[in-house]
Structure 1
Amino acid sequence: MRDFAIVTCIIKKNRGVFMSNDSKKLGKLSSRIWVSVFLFGIIGQVAWVVENMYFSRFMQNEITKAPYATTLLVAWSAVFATLSTLIGGALCDRRGKRKVFICWGYVIWGFTIAAFSLVPMQPTKEKVLPVVILVVVMDCIMSVIGSISNDAAFNTWITDVTNTANRAKVDTILAIMPLVALAIVFGGFDSLTNNNATVSDWQKFFLIMGIIPTVGGALGLFIMRDKEGIKPKSDTSFFSDFIYSLKPSTIKQNKMLYICLSGNMVSAIAYQVYVNYLFNIVEGTLKIKNYIIPIGIIMVVAAVVSVIVSTAMDKCGKKHFYYPTIIAGIIGCIIIWSAKFFVDKNEKAEIAILIIGGILVIGVSLVMAGLFTASYRDYIPQGKEGLFQGCRMVMYVLIPMIIGPIVAQVIINAANKGVSENNIVYPMELFLGAAVILLFCFIPSKIVRNKQNDYHNELMENLKNNK
């Protein structure tokens, strides 16, 4: 396959494959920008890791294992996150400001996380549903604040300060932030959230996690700067801006942008099939008690590989990476699924399979996010960066976080027929479901890669001419 010629591209430096000095200069970012990228990228993802993974674990361990609760939690959060991003993106462009929404948003975000320490845990059977509803409502409030500050304002700021010469690198670095955040939360605070955690442990966990974004937002007030020259946009109504990226005429005029997002969408649906049950799969289904080291290896290796690949993407062009990435993801899902055959038989083999498959699955999810997101940013019309954050949320968050958990619920229910709620086991077939969904990534990938080279060269030429 031609795409695997990427190795040749990386080796043959002397043949002019790598970026010219001009291209490197075009892609250079200031130290202040990089500090802001890392500060708000990592802290924002710490908050999202808590929301995306630990709220699910909290629901499953302290409220109810029934999959309907996790599905409601994830789906309603996605709805409110999407609406908030549509509003936040429009506000960013109309005010011509990003920093104020990001920094103060992070400060408030922390308080909404800390509030979870007040949730009544381990309810009686009669009180399960009211507590489920309470947690879902609190999650929606947290998602509103996080989506305006991070998904809308921060992502708009990223589009402002980057260009086609550095977007693949920046977006892949941002894509590994959830992994780094997971390593921080998982490595530092797992004892407060595992199956042996007490009510007091969970309360401490939420208080600590709430402090992080609040402090980060306060620091950002002294570090972050908006890009110069951004003017408030007030030539259209707020409602027009709110629905702009969802209008058929906008979609028709920006087809490639939406095709890039459709690739993100399919990849995210596959990810959402298993991610909300990941901790309990490793600890419960696979019965791996000492899982911190294997998961640590997966996260570190996947992060390193994704950064290396992102650098190659900027240097050699994104075109060559679509097909190999999808194939690696499918293989990874199948490998992890096969670990089920070694449960209670050979733990060393089970852990080895988990590590190999995990590196592929997690690494691919990071690369796919960076790959399609960087391509999507390239197609955003100048001056409308905030307006296009809403459609990204619809396709990258809302749809995946509704479809993925529903698919997961169907698979879980099918595997647990006749099993009581307290004895539900989350099946490894969740990964097979994800593998099947990943097959559909080939459709947008084929379209995007066919257009990639010419458009990339056009953008690079425009950048040089504008310098």
Structure 2
Amino acid sequence: MQETPPNQLTKRNWAVMFALALTGQIAWAVENSWFNTFVFDTITPDPRPIAWMVAASAVTATLTTLIMGTLSDRTRTRWGKRRPYILLGYILWGLSTILFPTVAYIKITLLAVVMVVIADSVMTFFGSTANDAAFNAWTVDVATSETRGRVEGVLNLSVFLAQIVAMVAAGMLIDAFGYFIFFYALGAIVILVGFLGGLFLQEPDGSQEEPVSRPPFWKEFADLFSINTFKENRMLFILLLFIMISSIGMQVSFPYMIVYLENFVGVTKTEFSIIGGAVMLGSGALAIPFGIAADRWRKRLIIAIGIIISSLGGIVFSMVRSLPLLALSGLLWQAFSVAAGIASVAWLKDLLPEESRGKFLGIRMIFWIAIPMVIGPAIGSWLIRSYGIPTHLAGQEGFIPVPIIFQVGSLITLLSLIPLALTRKQKTVQDERD
């Protein structure tokens, strides 16, 4: 098989990138949204298991990306550097997705809760190995500074399309066929696309050669947490702090959003699909020009505007009840959050050390996934249990989420403006004009 020239993107690689990105993002979007409603609808209405599942999944994703990302940086095989992890990882990711809903057969609630947390974590391990660690590092490997923007465009387009599929198709399919058929179909698609994409993926020259001399694996892994790593990448860590706080704010409410809309507002899954589809389409239309503006003008100013509008949108979202107003406020909340995220992640990737991209993408996971998804849902669960509406579902006691989760989450998101302001003290090649 012919290898791609170093840091160049062929038509085949563009096609593979889009297919793997889209499929992976659909799987993550479903996991972030419908796994939570699955637990509420089929196991227990208690919000704590959702918080536990989200937290366990986040920690698993982060540790997996750190370890497997570092390992893939060091790997050289006849199949290439990243391909083995992508090919096998996607296949096992799909299989674990197919098996996930079987936990509903367990009739002992406590055991079912334990097993659903384990099942989600296993699925997350394979997904993070394939997508977060190997695939994302591969997209950095094959891109240059001249193509980085287009690569980010493809990756973020896949996010938008995946969210549309997860919001529009998923709710309707679950209403029509139930959770089991839906998860079976999703898992089969992940297996098929992962298998074909892994086979046709091309890696840069050198992916089969012996790696340059590097320290032992665990020493290199431990170096991620050294003071020197922080000092040498100070700007990167300040930006990660911004991402962490803004993500915590989003995670206070996001895991419970569909449960809130169904059980507090009275929106059906199909109606939510319509609202979600409109919000995602609008988000794409707003986020792309927003990202272009961030490239041309001051990144931190554009990001700050996005954070402020998103937070206001989240607060308004908690106050309205009609479908049109939910869609409009949801658009402000999500679109400008996504737009700020696009600009900040593109900025972050420009700061990644060239020889350690895989492991530094793992560091990003600590601030972007692990900490926010442990702290945010825990805050949301506490708010729901403290202020939510008591309910019974299939003999189980629980609480219906209430608007305060969106209001508190939005206020926390606004706190991310503090580390964003600190970036003014740092100068980098990629920094915009001040």
TM-score normalized by structure 2? 0.89
Q: Give the match for residue 456 of structure 1.
A: 430
Contact 1:172 1:371 in 2 (8 A): no
Q: How has the CA–CA distance of structure 1 residues 419 and 135 changed in structure 2, closer, same or farther, with 3 Å as cutoff? A: closer
- Secondary structure of the 2:430 match is helix
Is 2:185 the partner of 1:208? yes
Residue 448 of structure 1 deviates from its aligned partner by: 2.8
2:95 paired residue among 111, 117, 121:
111
Q: Deviations over 1:160-200 (max 9, x none)?
A: 22344454554355345344213213322324435xx7xx7
Letter in 1 for 2:345: T
* Letter of the structure 2 residue corresponding to residue 439 of structure 1: L
CA contact (8 A) 1:168 1:370 kept: no
Post-superposition shift, 1:324?
A: 0.7
Task: Indicate conservation of the 8 Å contact 2:170/2:273, yes or no.
Answer: no
CA contact (8 A) 1:164 1:456 kept: no
Q: Which residue of 1 aligns with 2:220?
A: 241
What is the aligned counterpart of 1:309 among 290, 296, 299?
290
Shift of 1:31: 3.0
Residue correspondence of structure 1 range 365-404 to structure 2 within 5 A: 365-404=337-376
Residue number in structure 2 paired with 1:11: none
Aligned pair in 2 of structure 1 residues 374, 450: CA closer, same or farther (>3 Å)? farther
Partner residue, 1:407: 379
Aligned equivalent of 1:261:
240
Gap change, CA 1:80 and 1:168, over 3 Å in 2: same
After superposition, the CA RMSD in angstroms is: 2.4
When residues 267 and 164 of structure 1 are mapped into structure 2, their CA distance, relative to the original with a 3 A threshold, is farther
Q: Give the Cα–Cα distance (whole angstroms) in 2 for the partners of residues 356 and 405 of structure 1.
A: 24
Q: Distance in 2 between matches of 1:108 and 1:412?
A: 35
Q: Distance in 2 between matches of 1:417 and 1:183?
A: 30
- Determine if contact 1:335/1:356 at 8 Å carries over to the other structure: no
Q: Which amino acid aligns with 1:100?
A: P
One-letter identity of the residue aligned with 2:430: H
Q: 1:97-144: per-residue Cα shift (whole Å, max 9, x none)?
A: 1122112211111011111243234x55xx101011011111111111
**Structure 2 residue 20 is matched with structure 1 residue 46:** no
Q: Does 1:66 align with 2:41?
A: no
Partner of 1:138: 119
Task: State the AA in 2 paired with 1:44.
Answer: G
Does the residue aligned with 2:402 lie in a helix, a strand or coil? coil
**Residue aligning to 2:335:** 363
Q: Which runs of 5+ in 2 are unaligned?
A: 1-6
Structure 1 gap ranges (5+): 1-26, 344-349, 459-467
2:414 equivalent among 417, 439, 445 = 439
Q: How many residues align?
A: 415
Residue equivalent to 1:186 = 167
Provide the C-alpha distance between the structure 2 equivalents of 1:451 and 1:307, rounded to a whole number of angstroms: 26
Q: Which of 217, 234, 249 in structure 1 is aligned with 2:194?
A: 217
C-alpha distance in structure 2 between counterparts of 1:450 and 1:28, whole Å: 34
Q: Deviations over 1:19-67 (max 9, x none)?
A: xxxxxxxx99543343233111111111112222221111111101101
Q: Distance in 2 between matches of 1:417 and 1:287?
A: 14
Question: Does residue 120 of the first structure (1) align with residue 101 of the second (2)?
Answer: no
